[in-house]
Structure 1
Amino acid sequence: MTSLTENWQAIEWPICLSEPPVLAQMSAGLHGHQSTDRFQLPTLWSLHFYRYRATLELAGQTFPIRPGFVGITPPNQPVLYHYEGPSPHLYAHFRLPSGSQPATGTIPLMQDLGTRFPLLYAQFEEVALAPHLPRWRREARLWELLCQLTERPAPQTSLTGHPAVSATIERIEQRLGEPLSIAQLAREAGVSYSYLGRLFQQQVGTSAIGYLRKRRIERAEHLLRESTLPIKSVAIAVGIPDLHLFNKTIRTALGASPRALRMSLEEDKRVE
């Protein structure tokens, strides 16, 4: 295997998004049943939202894959994956406008979405796991996500300055629905509870528990406003399965109960 490099943004693909993509397949996948897989789609682009650790070989270079990354490869591009174990992800295979239309931008082989990952993943998941939706709805969501991926913000170095902070953020984003404790996360990051708290305050501007609460509320608000999941399911998905506590948390943070938030959104849609 060639040496590992994190310079995945050095490889960028010209991409034309002047028209919507034509979707071939969109779903969840699980790789890692064998240690390596070689992929090459002769006529299709491939988009992956990664939730696992692995490496990817392309054009003689080896790149890391981490939870929170998103990757894209153009048609007829051979890629070799090396897995570390079960590798769940969401993916889309699609075509773009053919002919001589000029590129509207470029998109990197791989991006670390950081704090953007949970929202973009949730937006993609909502249509990827809903094959009953009209095809144009799924293509519209894919088109919007591709446009967002070509408009890359500056790296958020403040969130990843210390390895313990980046590792803890990664674990929180991966396991938001689990009963996490900051003491447990500190142990997993190899630092003390108090030191992790100081690092978060310095680099993120809030405590570690404050960051965890904020991410749970943001994910809950998105699911309440943008999905049809039952409120109980939303509470479980964001790691607050006690419905009474969930209602209290949302009311305190957002000024309305989960039911009121959803009803106000439904009323807004009827007005539109």
Structure 2
Amino acid sequence: MEWQELRWNMSLESSPVIVQIGESTHGRVKEENFVLPDLWCIHLYAYEAEVEVDGQLLPIRPGYVGVTPPGSAMFYHFFGRSPHYYAHFSMASVGPIYRVPAMLDLRENFQPMVDSFREAVRFWPINRIRSGVRLWDLLWQMADVSTSEAPPTETPAVIQRALTYIDSHLHEPLNIQRLAEDQNISHNHFTRLFKAAQGCTPLEYIQHRRVAQAKHLLTYSPLPIKAVAASIGITDTQIFNKFVRHYLGRSPRKLREEESAKIGLLE
């Protein structure tokens, strides 16, 4: 596969949640390795180097932008001082999937994107929603180069609406029958459509999203454990402890300590 053909599947139906964003300089050592277990990353490059991502060697040139999905090992080979802008962020897995290039030469669009990215950096300490919207727009611009390609999967509108509702109401009781009625279809038909689009039942999806939300907040937010539990609809901390142990294999406190330590891998 040519490096220009390497692309990632990304849902762009909701704004990214930025965990870290800023400007950094590498190159003090010739090689560095990075892995972000649960986060996407994007880099706007102002230097020349190479990076190996999942076994694929990608060139880096001034004016390039690169995107890497969660869990991908990045092996950088620097040729000297290497300044860049970067962001580490999470994306909700809902809605249609778009193909985002792993590495893209922005050419004349590089400076306008850098200017927009600088606004995202400036907003982040004071208004993280506005910061996320700036990054969101940049990701959409990257996806636009692939608009001639049909998305690999088309999610029915009724399921897209249900996914959006689920993700914004994880803190509340969610009833599958009610979700189906809201879309004016039967429970069985809704379940069949949902499983065909998502590969799991609605209940499995809700549980998956609650587990992901709990892990994300325990790792990246300072919220008290009780508040994290409430964010996924669990008001009893003992039940939340059992929930986290069952799905994530550790107590909430232990998970927070171990996962937060991994942030040391961030730039």
Q: Which residue of 1 aligns with 2:101?
A: 108
Contact 1:8 / 1:108 at 8 angstroms: preserved in 2? no
CA shift, 1:11, in A, is: 1.0
The percentage of aligned residue pairs carrying the same residue is 39
Matched, 1:57 2:52: yes
CA shift, 1:123, in A, is: 0.8
* 1:118-137 equivalent positions in 2, closer than 5 A: 118-137=111-130
* C-alpha separation in 1, matches of 2:111 and 2:33: 28
CA shift, 1:33, in A, is: 1.2
Compared CA separation, residues 92 and 119, structure 1 to 2 (3 A): same
Compared CA separation, residues 132 and 22, structure 1 to 2 (3 A): closer
* C-alpha separation in 2, matches of 1:105 and 1:73: 14
CA shift, 1:60, in A, is: 2.5
Q: Which residue of 1 aligns with 2:90?
A: 95
* C-alpha separation in 2, matches of 1:55 and 1:117: 19
Contact 1:90 / 1:128 at 8 angstroms: preserved in 2? no
Opposite residue 94 of structure 1, the aligned amino acid is F
Q: Secondary structure at the match of 1:39?
A: strand
Compared CA separation, residues 13 and 121, structure 1 to 2 (3 A): same
Matched, 1:77 2:88: no
* 1:1-272 equivalent positions in 2, closer than 5 A: 7-98=2-93, 101-152=94-145
* C-alpha separation in 1, matches of 2:91 and 2:38: 10
TM-score, normalized by length of structure 1?
A: 0.51
* C-alpha separation in 2, matches of 1:57 and 1:23: 24
Contact 1:45 / 1:72 at 8 angstroms: preserved in 2? yes
Compared CA separation, residues 17 and 153, structure 1 to 2 (3 A): closer
Q: Secondary structure at the match of 1:124?
A: helix
CA shift, 1:133, in A, is: 2.9
* C-alpha separation in 2, matches of 1:129 and 1:49: 16
Compared CA separation, residues 122 and 114, structure 1 to 2 (3 A): same
Opposite residue 125 of structure 1, the aligned amino acid is R
Which runs of structure 1 show a deviation greater than 4 angstroms over 4 or more consecutive aligned residues? none
CA shift, 1:8, in A, is: 2.1
Q: Secondary structure at the match of 1:75?
A: coil
Contact 1:58 / 1:78 at 8 angstroms: preserved in 2? yes
Aligned residues: 147
Contact 1:15 / 1:104 at 8 angstroms: preserved in 2? yes
Runs (5+) with no aligned partner, structure 2 = 148-267
1:122-170, Cα deviation, whole Å (9 max, x unpaired): 111122145433011101111111111100189xxxxxxxxxxxxxxxx
Q: Which residue of 2 aligns with 1:262?
A: none
Compared CA separation, residues 106 and 131, structure 1 to 2 (3 A): same
Q: Which residue of 2 aligns with 1:192?
A: none
TM-score, normalized by length of structure 2?
A: 0.52
1:38-96, Cα deviation, whole Å (9 max, x unpaired): 11100000000000000111232322100000000000000100001111000010000
* C-alpha separation in 2, matches of 1:45 and 1:125: 19
Opposite residue 87 of structure 2, the aligned amino acid is A
Runs (5+) with no aligned partner, structure 1 = 155-272
Q: Secondary structure at the match of 1:133?
A: coil
* C-alpha separation in 2, matches of 1:148 and 1:134: 22
Q: Secondary structure at the match of 2:12?
A: coil
Contact 1:28 / 1:129 at 8 angstroms: preserved in 2? no
Moved more, 52-61 or 17-26: 52-61
